[in-house]
Structure 1
């Protein structure tokens, strides 16, 4: 029987760079299920928290632990950046890359690539360079590339920033489908409407610390801290 990746624990985690504390101290447990949305003003530490979880950020203090060893944990999660990173290859090669490096048979990879390309509307572009896609197409490709190997956990850093409404709707549909299929999602966003549509849990960060955490309906209907209440009101936090 395969040991589940989650729960994950952050204990006394902080990140300091050039004498400035970007995150922490943070104590956080992520359960096995849910769609967690990270909210907070610019510079609150949302991206740093995501990178710390995924092992992309060197910790100044504390540790992140998973229910499995760290090397397995990295293999069983995926990360999507705000600005999608495209390999200088075709759309087909980008989509198939995660499965190819896992050593899956070529026929199996091709079948998965065709299915995902159809799902994100990029079948006509399969043999075009991925770098030539529009912003929305690149982000959908990046998300499909992350989901094609069915990760247990998906981390996303504002994946819908600067996209048009149609692209946002398509990406949210993909995320909701992944969540319903059992993928644990943690995502940063600046869009309160999107947070209300997607979140089962809210983490509100301010000045590198978690100021509020809880089920999404409770957090939105009855914020417990003045900082989060001000944020929801659209006030500028300094």
Structure 2
């Protein structure tokens, strides 16, 4: 399949009920690795992710991919902060995206079983997805997203409200996915997690993209007063 990257954002804006939620933002997503979106609550991180994924309508500007819409839709996935669980077993929940792509039931289930084992849900294949714990649901959501081997994966604070063990497991799943060739863009409020995972950091405040920098540069030499204040734990108004 043709690469869907680079993704080019040209002065995109999102407004709702006359209020600016994001923008104007210009950025080019390309290459490999993990990009981390950071910023205080309400800074526009989720809106930015949803706009790139195509589930948030932009009010202005332009989004350009390196491929056509059908290929772009097939080659990316999104994991929400509170993942949606289907009324299916763990096995069939993970297999579902493959079934939508026309993969046979047997092949889809086999792939689902492999991914369930990889994320630590191998013993839960026959359990209803709805009864899983919070950490297990997030692992299922990741397996469901990664079973199609997406070129690009968006995640909106996937470890929010999870304990240390679940967070550790999910971070390793993401690192393995990145090594396998999936480009990752995720938001997090956890500075420690950003230090562990990021190759580069995008810092947003009040709907504006204030900084884009390699991880080491952002954490040691933030380019803006807002970035420095955020890293110190100060409130940004």
TM-score (norm 2): 0.98
Displacement of 1:182: 1.1
Structure 1: which 4+ aligned runs deviate by more than 3 Å?
Answer: none
Tell me the equivalent position of 1:132.
131
For structure 2, list consecutive stretches of 5 or more residues without a partner in the other structure. none
Displacement of 1:47: 0.2
In 2, Cα distance between equivalents of 1:132 and 1:105? 27
Tell me the equivalent position of 1:195.
194
Displacement of 1:33: 1.3
Tell me the equivalent position of 1:217.
216
123-132 or 7-16: which moved more?
A: 123-132
Tell me the equivalent position of 2:110.
111
In 1, Cα distance between equivalents of 2:152 and 2:51? 14
1:162 partnered with 2:161 = yes
Tell me the equivalent position of 2:151.
152
In 2, Cα distance between equivalents of 1:131 and 1:167? 18
Displacement of 1:123: 2.0
In 1, Cα distance between equivalents of 2:178 and 2:112? 20
TM-score (norm 1): 0.98
Aligned residue for 2:57, secondary structure, equals coil
In 2, Cα distance between equivalents of 1:33 and 1:128? 35
CA-based RMSD: 0.9
In 2, Cα distance between equivalents of 1:3 and 1:122? 32
Tell me the equivalent position of 1:54.
53
Tell me the equivalent position of 1:82.
81
Tell me the equivalent position of 1:171.
170
Displacement of 1:71: 2.4
In 1, Cα distance between equivalents of 2:214 and 2:18? 34
In 1, Cα distance between equivalents of 2:97 and 2:2? 22
Displacement of 1:127: 1.2
Aligned residue for 2:189, secondary structure, equals coil
Aligned residue for 1:210, secondary structure, equals strand
1:208 partnered with 2:197 = no
Aligned residue for 2:126, secondary structure, equals coil
108-117 or 39-48: which moved more?
A: 108-117
Q: Give per-residue Cα distances to partners, 1:68-92, cap 9 Å, x unaligned.
A: 0122111100000000111111111
In 1, Cα distance between equivalents of 2:222 and 2:122? 44
